[in-house]
Every structure is written in C-alpha cells, then in structure tokens.
Amino acid sequence: MTPPRLLFRRLRFVWVFLLGLVGLDVALRLNHKTWERHSPDGYTERVEGCAAERRDVVFVGGSPVAEGINPALIGGVNWRGERLTNHYAVGLSGGTTSDVYFATLHACPKPPRVLVYGITASDLNDSRHEPHGANSLLTLADLADWQRTRPEAAEWVTRHFWQARLSEVWAAYRYRHGVKLWAASLCPQCCPVTAEEADRQRTIGEQVASQRGYAPTRWFDRSYEQMKAGGWEQPPFEYLARYRTGSHLKYLHRLIDWAEANNVTVVLIDMPTTADLERRHPAEFAEFRQRLAEVVAVRGVPVLRATRETVGLTDQHFADLIHPNPAGAAVLSGWLKAELERIGNETSRVVRGAAP
C-alpha cells in the first residue's frame, strides 16, 4: 500500500491538473454574465425580462409571435377605459403550447391584466418534441408536472431536462458558446464568421432588452412574395408533419385555468399564415381550428381569427410560409391593438351591464 503522501507526490501533476480545472470553473462562473450576454438564451432572456416587473399585457406563443408581434406598436391600448402601456412579448422560437404554459408561469410571477396567446396549428402538434423548453424553462417541479400531464412524453422530457442540468455542472461546457463569441468579438478579424455570429447574438440580446422581447430574426427581413417570384420554394413544413392533437392541448386548458385563478383575461389569436401553408396542410389546419372551437365552447375564451384578409396581409408581409417579416409584424400589431381595444370595450360593456 502506497502511503498517501508518496501517492500525492507521485501524482502531483494530476492533482495540479485537477486544481487547474476547478480554478477554471470558478473563474468562468464568476464571469457568467459576460458569457451570457454574448450568447443569450432567447427563452431565458424573454422570460426573465418579462418577469422583471408587473406587465399590463403579455403576448406569448411560438416563433410567429416572436417575429410577428411588436409590443412597442401596441402600447397605450385602451382596455376597459384604461390605457395599458406596459407590454411584453414572450415569443419562443420553436415553442409548443406546453412550452408556452411553463414560460407564462415563470414570466408572469405578478399576473398581467391581459394574456394574449398567438397560437398556430404547429403549437398543438403532439408529434413535435422541442428540446429548448425542457432545457431552459423547466424547474424540477415543472418536470414532475409535465411527467404527470403528458406521460407519453415523460421519457423524452426527463432525458432532455437532465442532459441540460448535467451540461451546467461544468462551467467550461455550459458557457463554451458565450466564451467563443466573446473572444470573437474581441478580435473580429481572427474569425470573421464567428465574429458575425457574435454581433448577431449581441444584437438579439440588446433588442430583447430594449424592445420588450421583440427581436426579429435578421434574415427574416425579406419578402416571401419576392422569394417566390425568384423561384424559391419553401421545403416541406416539418412542424406539421404527422399531425395529431390532444397532449399539448392539455396545457392550453391549464393556461386558461391559471389565468382564471389569477384574474387574467386570456385572448387567443389564431395567427395568420400564408395561403400556401394552408393549401399544403388543409387537414391539419381543420383539426387545429376544430380544437380551438372546442376550447372556446367549453371555456368561453375569446378567439381572434387573424386571417390574412382581415388583418390586411399578403405574401409580401411574410418572410416564409409562417413567419411575418418586420413589415408584416407592423401591420399585424396595428390590427391587434385595434382588436384588443374592441374586446376591452365589449367586455367592459358586459361587465358594466352585469353590475348591480
């Protein structure tokens, strides 16, 4: 048996190496804000940004909300005779209704007056498993809730949840992307491609902070109409593949339960898409709208059908099959403001009429 002192001396290099790793870990954790600033997590940034203060109106949804609703253009909406000014958009790119539910819980510790959920057919597609929500949104309690509510996706969410937690154990691994982008921004000519990515990420972070969650994707500043005219054809829309509903839908009911319990008015918007997408997936959209109609019938939640014609959108307002471009976002946000005021006035009359 080798005495411990001798073993320590013999393995001095290994101990120093391990000490170095620990030192590195501590140094990276102490500077975590720098790395997070250079590689913002879109979900976390928006959820934390929204939770920072009490909001009047919170817009939630997947990427159509992230790209299509600009809270700055809806500010000052007249709601039951009161001007609501503090808006925030929690648009989760790639998010499903399950993700939206958990994002809402964490983004609204102080419940808002109005919660607007811009929902679309892909949000309810049970064939979709998007890891970002499991990685960024869920707490241990949320995980247990998900396992109970959606047992068919329990294994999947558990695996991704714990993978994400494990990857946070080692700071070098956790912050590797942020460190790389930070270094690239220090010396842009060293690695131009990474420096460009660093610039893009920094812009997103700044926009999320300054534009109340609205940070349109840079390459979505284009026109679907022009792209089509140029011969571009969008590849198959995988988010509606193998369409089936029921499991994510449970979380739509849970969201409405939460809103009722917290005296929050929920408004659902059936988000606009291009005519091409609806032509490609008529059965999927029919099933989606059937489900929405059932929710309205059972829960009495108002649904705004944001059709292209109603809102005034054409293919030139879209960046692809489903995402509005900044011009489309402006049109949609203007329409939404007017619609919210209309609903506010109607419900106000109902409330006034019902009052003794």
Contacts to another protein by CB under 8 A: 7, 10-21, 23-24, 28, 170, 172-173, 175-176, 179-180, 183, 187, 189-192
Q: Which is nearer to another protein, 6 or 261 (CB)?
A: 6
Q: Which is nearer to another protein, 11 or 338 (CB)?
A: 11
Report in angstroms how near the CB of residue 42 gets to another protein at its nearest.
Answer: 21
Report in angstroms how near the CB of residue 11 gets to another protein at its nearest.
Answer: 5
Task: Report which DSSP code applies to 319.
Answer: S
Q: Which is nearer to another protein, 7 or 351 (CB)?
A: 7
Report in angstroms how near the CB of residue 24 gets to another protein at its nearest.
Answer: 5
Q: Which is nearer to another protein, 195 or 240 (CB)?
A: 195
Report in angstroms how near the CB of residue 205 gets to another protein at its nearest.
Answer: 19
Q: Which is nearer to another protein, 183 or 327 (CB)?
A: 183
Report in angstroms how near the CB of residue 212 gets to another protein at its nearest.
Answer: 32
Half-sphere exposure of 337 (CA within 13 A, CB side): 19
Q: Which tokens belong to 56? A: 């009047």
Helical spans, DSSP H, in the chain: 4-10, 12-30, 32-38, 42-51, 63-68, 97-107, 131-136, 140-149, 154-167, 171-174, 176-186, 192-210, 224-229, 247-261, 275-280, 282-299, 308-311, 326-354
The span from the CA of 73 to the CA of 62, in Å, is 19
Give 94's contacts (C-beta < 8 A, 6+ positions apart).
62, 63, 130, 132
Q: How many C-beta atoms surround the C-beta of residue 109 within 10 A?
A: 10
Report in angstroms how near the CB of residue 28 gets to another protein at its nearest.
Answer: 8
Paired strand residues for 88: 58
Q: Which is nearer to another protein, 173 or 232 (CB)?
A: 173
